[in-house]
A = this chain, B = another copy of it.
Amino acid sequence: MIELSKAEFEVLDALWINYPATASQIIERLSGDKQWHEKTIKTLLSRLVKKGALTFEKDGRQYIYTPCMERADYTLKESQNFIERFFSGRIAPLVSGFAKSEQLSQQDINELKKVIDDWEKNQK
Could you tell me which A residues sit within 8 Å of B by CB distance? 6, 9, 72, 75-76, 78-80, 82, 85-87, 90-92, 94-101, 103-104, 108-109, 111-116, 118-120
Closest partner residue, chain B, to A78 (CB atom): B86
Residues in B neighbouring A116, C-beta threshold 8 A = 109, 112-113, 116
Main secondary structure of the interface of A (DSSP, over half): helix
A23 to chain B, nearest CB (A): 23
- Please determine whether B119 and A97 come into contact, CB atoms closer than 8 angstroms: no
A124 to chain B, nearest CB (A): 13
Assembly CA distance A8 to B119 (angstroms):
37
Closest partner residue, chain B, to A113 (CB atom): B116
